[in-house]
Structure 1
Amino acid sequence: MITDDVRRARQKLVLDHFRDEVRQEWDDVLATFPHPRYELIPTMTVHDGDRAVRDYYDETRAAFPDQDHEIIALRHSDDAVIVEFWLTGTHRGPLGAIPPTGSRFRVRMTAYFVFDEKEELVCERVYYDSLTMLRQVLGGLDMRRPRNWILAVRCLRGLLAMSGGEPHPALVDTTPPTFG
């Protein structure tokens, strides 16, 4: 069982991490990890190491420059802080191969901030329904306007170009726990 002091320290680190992400203070966010690592379960991708995580920040904030969050709940486990939150933003730049639509989104997410035995943050593992996000980003297009037809086709092509990639092996090759 973790102590109250450990719980408070972890919670402060996680809340600072969230705050600094919204402020786009990347050096401060990265300082919460000894080695930055994000695992995005819906896309089965891993961003591992300083450069990969900075690229992830650049890509997501180009797509959603006003990205923000609303925390719903924060829970503690023996090796993680689990945060439920709403992620919000406006699609102002390319999201991978999907061109900007100008649509807003609000999607419910859960992030597991996993700590090791030295109480260092080793990973942020994020779960969310990507279809809900895409439906909001693409569904905001007014299809009564013919100029949006071309954008819708470009978005569909972009979505197809992004699908079918190989999942990261660390997210597929898992070992079941041993229950005593």
Structure 2
Amino acid sequence: MTAFDIPDRAVLEARQKLVLDHFRDEVAQDWDATLSTFPHPHYEVIATMTVHDGDGAVRGYYHDTRTAFPDQHHELIALRHSADAVVAEFWLLGTHLGPFGKIPATGSRFRVRMSAYFIFDADENLVCERIYFDTLSMLKQLVGGVDKKNPKNWPLLAKLVRGLLAMSGERPDPRLVNTAEPDLGQG
């Protein structure tokens, strides 16, 4: 099989079912079922340059994101198939009711367009969910819902700025930075 060979319909349908089950189980916060879609859970969140590798790390990621956004859910836009992946476009929605990293809860709702690559190996195992989204769109919505003219909110706004500054100094995961250009056989 080459990079140009698209698997047959049965393989694509099986991948699509797995991805849709994964989405459904995430919204239901059924972490055992969600994790069962991977032989080894692995998330790469490009917007934050973080990797969550293994059962414990992924459960920690689920815990942290659902503490921040307990009602987090998806609205699917489209699914696309490639030789080794299902690409999902969706809206991610939720309400900021707990800390998001070092950013304190604002009570604001958000709706951010995202894409996720569900990558499969040669044995049709899901090996990675790689997520892309625009953090500025999300942060604008989280902070934008706070009334900045109300002096009662000024301490929260100061904490938000401190949290954003602290997070901006975090180092990216080297697995996402130290990449090699692929050999496409055109040299």
Q: Quick check: 1:51 aligned with 2:48?
A: no
Show CA shifts across 1:77-121 (max 9, x none).
Answer: 000000000000000001111110000000000000000000000
Consecutive unaligned residues of structure 2, counting only runs of 5 or more, are 1-5
Show CA shifts across 1:27-73 (max 9, x none).
Answer: 00000000000000011100000000000000000000000110001
Q: Quick check: 1:110 aligned with 2:104?
A: no
Matched residue type, 2:43: Y
Consecutive unaligned residues of structure 1, counting only runs of 5 or more, are none
Q: Secondary structure at the match of 2:90?
A: strand
Show CA shifts across 1:157-179 (max 9, x none).
Answer: 11111112111111111111122
Pairing partner for 1:121 from 106, 123, 126: 126
Rounded to whole Å, the distance in 1 between the matches of 2:169 and 2:123 is 38
Scaled by the length of structure 1, the TM-score of the pair is 0.98
Give 1:92-171 correspondences, 5 Å limit.
92-171=97-176
Q: Quick check: 1:33 aligned with 2:38?
A: yes
Rounded to whole Å, the distance in 2 between the matches of 1:166 and 1:91 is 24
Structure 1 runs of 4+ with >6 Å offset: none
Matched residue type, 1:104: R
Scaled by the length of structure 2, the TM-score of the pair is 0.95
Matched residue type, 2:147: D
Please name the residue that 1:15 is paired with: 20
Q: Secondary structure at the match of 1:136?
A: helix
